[in-house]
Protein backbone atom coordinates (compact mmCIF):
# COMPACT_ATOMS: atom_id res chain seq x y z
CA UNK A 1 0.00 0.00 0.00
CA UNK A 2 1.22 3.53 -0.76
CA UNK A 3 1.09 4.70 2.83
CA UNK A 4 2.94 1.76 4.32
CA UNK A 5 5.05 2.38 7.40
CA UNK A 6 8.25 0.44 8.00
CA UNK A 7 10.73 0.71 10.82
CA UNK A 8 14.31 -0.47 10.47
CA UNK A 9 15.42 -1.06 14.04
CA UNK A 10 17.29 -3.15 16.59
CA UNK A 11 15.32 -4.45 19.59
CA UNK A 12 17.78 -3.37 22.31
CA UNK A 13 18.48 0.05 20.92
CA UNK A 14 17.09 2.89 23.01
CA UNK A 15 16.47 5.36 20.17
CA UNK A 16 14.61 2.60 18.31
CA UNK A 17 12.38 1.86 21.28
CA UNK A 18 11.33 5.46 21.69
CA UNK A 19 10.13 5.46 18.07
CA UNK A 20 8.19 2.21 18.60
CA UNK A 21 6.55 3.64 21.70
CA UNK A 22 5.37 6.66 19.69
CA UNK A 23 4.01 4.50 16.87
CA UNK A 24 2.18 2.28 19.35
CA UNK A 25 0.70 5.24 21.25
CA UNK A 26 -0.59 6.60 17.95
CA UNK A 27 -1.85 3.13 16.96
CA UNK A 28 0.08 3.21 13.71
CA UNK A 29 0.50 -0.11 11.93
CA UNK A 30 4.06 -0.72 10.87
CA UNK A 31 6.34 -3.43 9.60
CA UNK A 32 9.35 -4.05 11.85
CA UNK A 33 12.53 -4.80 9.96
CA UNK A 34 15.21 -6.02 12.33
CA UNK A 35 18.73 -4.86 11.60
CA UNK A 36 21.94 -6.64 12.60
CA UNK A 37 24.27 -3.76 13.36
CA UNK A 38 27.37 -5.91 13.00
CA UNK A 39 26.39 -6.70 9.43
CA UNK A 40 24.47 -3.71 8.10
CA UNK A 41 22.01 -4.41 5.32
CA UNK A 42 22.05 -2.74 1.94
CA UNK A 43 18.54 -1.51 2.76
CA UNK A 44 19.75 0.35 5.83
CA UNK A 45 22.74 1.85 4.02
CA UNK A 46 20.46 2.99 1.22
CA UNK A 47 17.86 4.44 3.60
CA UNK A 48 20.35 6.21 5.87
CA UNK A 49 23.48 6.71 3.77
CA UNK A 50 24.86 9.55 5.89
CA UNK A 51 24.73 8.11 9.39
CA UNK A 52 24.13 4.42 8.55
CA UNK A 53 22.28 4.03 11.85
CA UNK A 54 18.99 2.81 13.23
CA UNK A 55 16.19 3.74 13.66
CA UNK A 56 14.96 4.58 10.18
CA UNK A 57 11.26 5.17 9.65
CA UNK A 58 10.02 4.71 6.12
CA UNK A 59 6.65 6.19 5.23
CA UNK A 60 5.38 5.61 1.71
CA UNK A 61 8.97 4.75 0.82
CA UNK A 62 10.49 8.00 2.18
CA UNK A 63 13.09 7.60 4.93
CA UNK A 64 13.18 9.69 8.09
CA UNK A 65 16.18 9.33 10.40
CA UNK A 66 17.32 10.52 13.85
CA UNK A 67 14.93 9.37 16.57
CA UNK A 68 13.85 12.80 17.86
CA UNK A 69 13.25 13.98 14.28
CA UNK A 70 11.20 10.81 13.73
CA UNK A 71 9.13 11.52 16.87
CA UNK A 72 8.31 14.99 15.55
CA UNK A 73 7.35 13.49 12.19
CA UNK A 74 5.10 10.91 13.85
CA UNK A 75 3.45 13.66 15.92
CA UNK A 76 2.79 15.83 12.85
CA UNK A 77 1.66 13.04 10.55
CA UNK A 78 -0.72 11.11 12.82
CA UNK A 79 -2.42 14.05 14.46
CA UNK A 80 -5.74 12.50 15.38
CA UNK A 81 -4.48 10.08 18.02
CA UNK A 82 -2.60 10.70 21.25
CA UNK A 83 -0.87 14.09 21.12
CA UNK A 84 2.77 13.78 22.20
CA UNK A 85 3.31 17.50 22.58
CA UNK A 86 1.26 20.23 24.25
CA UNK A 87 -0.56 22.85 22.14
CA UNK A 88 1.26 25.60 24.01
CA UNK A 89 4.42 26.77 22.14
CA UNK A 90 6.37 27.38 25.36
CA UNK A 91 5.64 23.91 26.73
CA UNK A 92 6.54 22.40 23.36
CA UNK A 93 9.82 24.28 23.40
CA UNK A 94 10.63 23.08 26.92
CA UNK A 95 9.90 19.44 25.97
CA UNK A 96 12.18 19.79 22.94
CA UNK A 97 14.90 21.46 24.99
CA UNK A 98 14.90 18.78 27.69
CA UNK A 99 14.80 15.98 25.13
CA UNK A 100 17.92 17.42 23.49
CA UNK A 101 19.51 17.90 26.91
CA UNK A 102 18.68 14.31 27.83
CA UNK A 103 20.48 13.02 24.75
CA UNK A 104 23.44 15.36 24.72
CA UNK A 105 24.19 15.38 28.42
CA UNK A 106 22.57 12.42 30.17
CA UNK A 107 22.95 9.69 27.53
CA UNK A 108 26.44 10.79 26.53
CA UNK A 109 27.41 11.27 30.17
CA UNK A 110 26.13 7.89 31.33
CA UNK A 111 27.68 5.94 28.44
CA UNK A 112 30.94 7.82 28.82
CA UNK A 113 31.11 6.90 32.51
CA UNK A 114 30.19 3.27 31.81
CA UNK A 115 33.06 2.69 29.41
CA UNK A 116 35.75 4.03 31.76
CA UNK A 117 37.57 1.65 34.02
CA UNK A 118 37.45 2.20 37.76
CA UNK A 119 39.27 5.24 39.05
CA UNK A 120 39.29 9.00 39.42
CA UNK A 121 38.23 9.69 35.83
CA UNK A 122 35.29 7.31 36.10
CA UNK A 123 34.11 8.87 39.36
CA UNK A 124 34.27 12.32 37.81
CA UNK A 125 32.28 11.10 34.80
CA UNK A 126 29.62 9.57 37.05
CA UNK A 127 29.36 12.80 39.03
CA UNK A 128 28.99 14.77 35.82
CA UNK A 129 26.22 12.47 34.56
CA UNK A 130 24.47 12.83 37.91
CA UNK A 131 24.69 16.63 37.71
CA UNK A 132 22.86 16.41 34.40
CA UNK A 133 20.25 14.03 35.83
CA UNK A 134 19.71 16.50 38.67
CA UNK A 135 18.20 18.92 36.15
CA UNK A 136 15.72 16.26 35.04
CA UNK A 137 14.93 15.48 38.69
CA UNK A 138 13.93 19.12 39.14
CA UNK A 139 11.74 19.01 36.04
CA UNK A 140 9.78 15.96 37.19
CA UNK A 141 9.31 17.07 40.82
CA UNK A 142 5.62 17.23 41.66
CA UNK A 143 4.53 15.68 38.35
CA UNK A 144 3.45 12.17 37.55
CA UNK A 145 4.98 12.23 34.07
CA UNK A 146 6.96 14.85 32.15
CA UNK A 147 3.88 15.12 29.92
CA UNK A 148 1.60 15.72 32.91
CA UNK A 149 -1.15 13.20 33.61
CA UNK A 150 -0.09 11.03 30.71
CA UNK A 151 3.24 10.36 29.01
CA UNK A 152 4.34 12.57 26.14
CA UNK A 153 7.29 13.50 23.96
CA UNK A 154 9.74 14.07 26.80
CA UNK A 155 8.77 10.88 28.65
CA UNK A 156 9.54 8.94 25.47
CA UNK A 157 12.79 10.83 24.94
CA UNK A 158 14.10 10.08 28.45
CA UNK A 159 12.28 6.77 28.74
CA UNK A 160 15.63 4.99 28.50
CA UNK A 161 16.46 5.99 32.05
CA UNK A 162 14.52 3.42 34.11
CA UNK A 163 15.51 0.41 31.97
CA UNK A 164 18.60 1.09 29.86
CA UNK A 165 20.42 3.04 32.54
CA UNK A 166 20.03 0.07 34.88
CA UNK A 167 21.63 -2.18 32.26
CA UNK A 168 24.38 0.40 31.72
CA UNK A 169 25.04 0.52 35.46
CA UNK A 170 25.50 -3.25 35.41
CA UNK A 171 27.84 -3.17 32.40
CA UNK A 172 29.73 -0.18 33.69
CA UNK A 173 29.87 -1.43 37.30
CA UNK A 174 28.59 1.87 38.61
CA UNK A 175 25.61 3.45 40.34
CA UNK A 176 24.23 6.56 38.71
CA UNK A 177 20.49 6.77 39.38
CA UNK A 178 20.65 6.68 43.16
CA UNK A 179 17.02 6.73 44.42
CA UNK A 180 18.12 8.70 47.47
CA UNK A 181 19.53 11.47 45.34
CA UNK A 182 16.86 11.29 42.62
CA UNK A 183 13.61 10.29 44.37
CA UNK A 184 11.24 11.94 41.87
CA UNK A 185 13.09 10.65 38.81
CA UNK A 186 13.18 7.20 40.34
CA UNK A 187 9.44 7.26 41.05
CA UNK A 188 8.69 8.55 37.55
CA UNK A 189 10.78 5.66 36.18
CA UNK A 190 8.78 3.09 38.15
CA UNK A 191 5.48 4.60 36.95
CA UNK A 192 6.74 4.74 33.37
CA UNK A 193 7.73 1.07 33.33
CA UNK A 194 4.30 0.06 34.68
CA UNK A 195 2.46 1.45 31.67
CA UNK A 196 1.32 -1.70 29.80
CA UNK A 197 2.37 -0.42 26.34
CA UNK A 198 5.87 0.31 27.67
CA UNK A 199 6.15 -2.78 29.87
CA UNK A 200 5.18 -5.12 27.06
CA UNK A 201 7.67 -3.67 24.63
CA UNK A 202 10.78 -3.59 26.82
CA UNK A 203 13.66 -5.75 25.60
CA UNK A 204 14.81 -8.15 28.34
CA UNK A 205 17.50 -6.61 30.51
CA UNK A 206 20.01 -9.41 29.84
CA UNK A 207 19.68 -8.71 26.13
CA UNK A 208 20.35 -5.01 26.67
CA UNK A 209 23.39 -5.85 28.83
CA UNK A 210 24.63 -8.20 26.09
CA UNK A 211 24.04 -5.49 23.48
CA UNK A 212 26.00 -2.91 25.48
CA UNK A 213 28.82 -5.35 26.15
CA UNK A 214 29.02 -6.17 22.45
CA UNK A 215 29.11 -2.44 21.66
CA UNK A 216 31.91 -1.87 24.14
CA UNK A 217 33.98 -4.81 22.83
CA UNK A 218 33.52 -3.57 19.28
CA UNK A 219 34.57 -0.07 20.27
CA UNK A 220 37.64 -1.38 22.10
CA UNK A 221 38.62 -3.59 19.17
CA UNK A 222 38.41 -0.55 16.88
CA UNK A 223 40.60 1.45 19.24
CA UNK A 224 43.10 -1.39 19.46
CA UNK A 225 43.13 -1.74 15.67
CA UNK A 226 43.82 1.98 15.29
CA UNK A 227 46.83 1.94 17.61
CA UNK A 228 50.19 1.90 15.84
Q: Residues in the site for another protein, rule: CB under 8 A?
A: 50, 59, 62, 64-66, 69-70, 72-73, 76-77, 89-90, 92-93, 96-97, 100-101, 135
Choice between 25 and 99, CB closer to another protein: 99
Choice between 65 and 110, CB closer to another protein: 65
Would you list the DSSP string of 76-137?
A: HHS-SS--SS-SSHHHHHHHHHHHHHIIIIIIHHHHHHHHSPSSHHHHHHHHHHHHHHHHHH
- To another protein, the closest distance from the beta carbon of 203 in angstroms equals 26
| Contact (Cβ atoms closer than 8 angstroms) between residue 75 and residue 147 | no
**What's the rounded Cα separation, in Å, for the pair 228 and 222?**
12
**What's the rounded Cα separation, in Å, for the pair 187 and 198?**
15
- To another protein, the closest distance from the beta carbon of 95 in angstroms equals 9
Choice between 12 and 47, CB closer to another protein: 47
- To another protein, the closest distance from the beta carbon of 177 in angstroms equals 19
State whether residue 200 is helix, strand or coil: coil
Choice between 66 and 210, CB closer to another protein: 66
- To another protein, the closest distance from the beta carbon of 91 in angstroms equals 10
Amino acid sequence: MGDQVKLIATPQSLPCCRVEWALKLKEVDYEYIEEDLRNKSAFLLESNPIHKKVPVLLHAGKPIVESLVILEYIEETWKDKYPLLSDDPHERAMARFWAKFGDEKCVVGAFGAAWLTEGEEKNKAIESAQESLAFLEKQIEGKKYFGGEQIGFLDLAVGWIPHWLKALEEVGEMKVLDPGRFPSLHEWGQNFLEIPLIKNSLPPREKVVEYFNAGRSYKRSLEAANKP
